[in-house]
Amino acid sequence: MYSEQAEAVLGCIRERKSIRNFVDRPVPDNLIQSIIHAGIEAPTAMGLQPWRFVVIRDKGLIKRISDFCKAALLETLEGYPPEHAEPYRKVLNDPGYSLFFNAPLLVFVLGDERCHQYLYDCTLCAGNMLLAASTLGLGGCWMGSAEVVAESPDLLAELRIPDHFRIVAPLIFGYPAATQPTKPERREPYTIWID
């Protein structure tokens, strides 16, 4: 057995899972601040801390981003074999489908591309944020499919993404609905031991 603190941290890591089903309740400011502050505790190459955060709670804007991404993703399906593309195309064509699962909070973690390890730095930051959300009773999920927002100069301007910054992690957060699927099982880690 480990110390109480170690068990708590390991338990938090084990219990985190992606949440894609939320109740209609806003996330309070103090929890958003705590999640971001957990993010910035991540290690960074040369201590450069090359991140910025865009916090979006405007439901209308979240829907517009979702609609843009859905249309852009539909275009990317053009070259796919129909049997792979068709089920996804059906989902994306459903006007009621939200790419962000109706989450009340969308956070973009941005990385400064002038810092050459920014992708690693911001990914570690996002991992901390997802863990922090989970331990604070919230749910979260990395929404890689929202990266296509980078193809919209209008949305990038509206999101006020500074020059030299790239979207690394689109994250959704919210209070989890009561019913959730179980966390996908992990395969045993293939480990090479060299003593």
Ligand X SMILES: Cc1cc2nc3c(=O)[nH]c(=O)nc-3n(C[C@H](O)[C@H](O)[C@H](O)COP(=O)(O)O)c2cc1C
Q: Which two tokens stand for residue 83?
A: 């049997």
Distances (CA, A) of 83 to 79, 94, 113, 116, 148: 12, 18, 37, 39, 23
Q: Going by DSSP bridges, is the β-strand pair 139-142/165-174 parallel, antiparallel, or unpaired?
A: antiparallel
**Could you tell me which stretch among 6-14, 15-23, 25-33, 71-79 binds ligand X (CB under 6 A)?**
15-23
- 189 counts as binding ligand X under rule CB under 6 A: no
Task: Find the binding residues for ligand X in span 159-188 (CB under 6 A).
Answer: 183-184
- 131 counts as binding ligand X under rule CB under 6 A: no
- 20 counts as binding ligand X under rule CB under 6 A: yes
- 142 counts as binding ligand X under rule CB under 6 A: yes
C-alpha 164/C-alpha 175 separation (Å) is 33
- 109 counts as binding ligand X under rule CB under 6 A: no
Residue closer to ligand X by CB (options 125, 141) is 141
Residue closer to ligand X by CB (options 124, 159) is 124
Binding site for ligand X (CB under 6 A): 17-18, 20, 141-145, 183-184
